[in-house]
């Protein structure tokens, strides 16, 4: 049984990490969050110690080490995006490996710095890249690998996930903290695309606003038109009529990729790989971080060239 700590226990994604820790037969010793709406811990680890002050959380980990000879093996990080870098460093300095949500960091140069910390501490950093373990995504990757070398697939990516006014007031609405909409809701898709279709050859941004972004990405084996939004006004009519607030669609050469199911256990699958020494490390996260960094800093060109149909 491995010992875990968790940072960001009140966050939306934290319960998936708690479930993964429990499902893999391990123990959550302690957790931290500035907010105290963390009753979900009772469903998984009611005996875990919880702190709302980071200093006391840090001291508690030290006391476990020196007074009870109890050491952390992993720190799971579910904090806001801009804090990932600091919390990863804390984990490694504490003598634990880090398991961090996406994006690992906001800027490409931070990746290099974290690799240096890995070398100095001898500890590892793992990123949650859960789409890479989804059966439909794995099957698509195999299909692309078996296609002719110079094949370019035509890909249309649309992801609409409605968010209320709270979003713009929270850290997620602050580009300096979240990285902006493409980073916040799109980084896992960009990781998936680069993992399947190879190196990026072109990255054009057509529109980039607070509630939507769209552009064109060309990979070794794909031409991708993408559109992301947190506004319900872009939802297709049939989706609104069903009372749904989310729409996700990926087509490859006009054929819909079906991967709507199987999401609830992906974190557990990633944890199993990490515990078996097969998890995705810092280098695996690099390409997606470069993509979202370039999108964030690009000057939108408007409705020119290969733009997404939702912009019409």
Do residue 138 and residue 116 come from a single domain?
Answer: no
Do residue 264 and residue 298 come from a single domain?
Answer: yes
pLDDT tens-place string over residues 75-128: 999 999 999 999 999 999 999 999 999 999 999 999 999 999 999 999 999 999
Range of the structural domain that residue 246 is part of? 131-311
Do residue 117 and residue 136 come from a single domain?
Answer: no
In 3-state terms, what secondary structure has residue 266?
helix
Instruction: Compute the distance between CA of residue 252 and CA of residue 151 in angstroms, rounded to an integer.
Output: 12
Do residue 65 and residue 203 come from a single domain?
Answer: no
Task: State which of 73, 95, 128 marks the end of a domain.
Answer: 128
Confidence band (pLDDT; 50, 70, 90) for 263? low
Instruction: Compute the distance between CA of residue 123 and CA of residue 275 in angstroms, rounded to an integer.
Output: 14
Task: State which of 109, 128, 147 marks the end of a domain.
Answer: 128
**What is the domain count for the chain?**
2
CATH number for the domain that contains residue 171: 3.30.360.10
pLDDT for 45: 98
CATH number for the domain that contains residue 59: 3.40.50.720
Do residue 117 and residue 147 come from a single domain?
Answer: no
Do residue 30 and residue 82 come from a single domain?
Answer: yes
Do residue 263 and residue 185 come from a single domain?
Answer: yes
Which residue is listed with tokens 């980073």? 183
Do residue 82 and residue 150 come from a single domain?
Answer: no
Task: State which of 93, 128, 163 marks the end of a domain.
Answer: 128
pLDDT tens-place string over residues 133-188: 999 999 999 999 999 888 999 999 999 999 999 999 999 999 999 999 999 999 99
Do residue 137 and residue 271 come from a single domain?
Answer: yes
pLDDT tens-place string over residues 184-222: 999 999 999 999 999 999 999 999 999 999 999 999 999
Do residue 11 and residue 137 come from a single domain?
Answer: no
Burial class (CB in 10 A: 0-12, 13-18, 19+), 243: exposed
pLDDT averaged over every residue in the chain: 96
| DSSP characters over 119-159 | HHH---EEE--GGGG-HHHHHHHHHHHTS-TT--EEEEEEE
pTM of the model: 0.95
């Amino acid at each position: 049984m491995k010992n875990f700590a968790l940072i960001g226990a009140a966050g939306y994604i934290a319960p998936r990490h708690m479930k993964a820790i429990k499902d893999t037969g391990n123990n959550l010793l302690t957790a931290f969050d500035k907010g105290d709406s963390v009753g979900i811990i009772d469903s998984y680890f009611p005996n875990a110690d919880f702190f709302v002050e980071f200093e006391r959380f840090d001291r508690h980990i030290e006391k476990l080490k020196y007074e009870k000879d109890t050491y952390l093996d992993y720190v799971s990080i579910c904090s806001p995006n801009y804090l990932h870098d600091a919390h990863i460093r804390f984990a490694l300095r504490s003598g634990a490996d880090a398991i961090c949500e996406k994006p690992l960091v906001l800027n490409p140069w931070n990746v290099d710095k974290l690799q240096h910390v890995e070398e100095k501490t001898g500890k590892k950093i793992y990123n949650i890249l859960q789409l890479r373990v989804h059966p439909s995504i794995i099957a698509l990757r195999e299909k692309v690998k078996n296609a002719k070398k110079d094949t370019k697939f035509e890909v249309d990516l649309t992801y609409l996930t409605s968010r209320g006014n709270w979003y713009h007031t929270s850290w997620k609405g602050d580009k300096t903290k979240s990285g902006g909409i493409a980073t916040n809701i799109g980084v896992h898709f960009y990781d998936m695309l680069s993992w399947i279709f190879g190196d990026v050859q072109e990255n054009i941004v057509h529109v980039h606003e607070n509630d939507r972004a769209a552009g064109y990405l060309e990979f070794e084996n794909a031409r991708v038109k993408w559109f992301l939004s947190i506004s319900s006004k872009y939802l297709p009519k049939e989706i609104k009529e069903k009372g749904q607030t989310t729409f996700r669609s990926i087509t490859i050469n006009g054929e819909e990729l079906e991967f709507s199911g199987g999401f609830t256990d992906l974190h557990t699958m990633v944890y199993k790989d990490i515990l078996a020494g097969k998890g995705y490390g810092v280098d695996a996260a690099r390409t997606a971080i470069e993509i979202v960094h370039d999108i964030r800093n690009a000057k939108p060109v408007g409705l020119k060239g290969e733009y997404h149909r939702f912009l019409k």
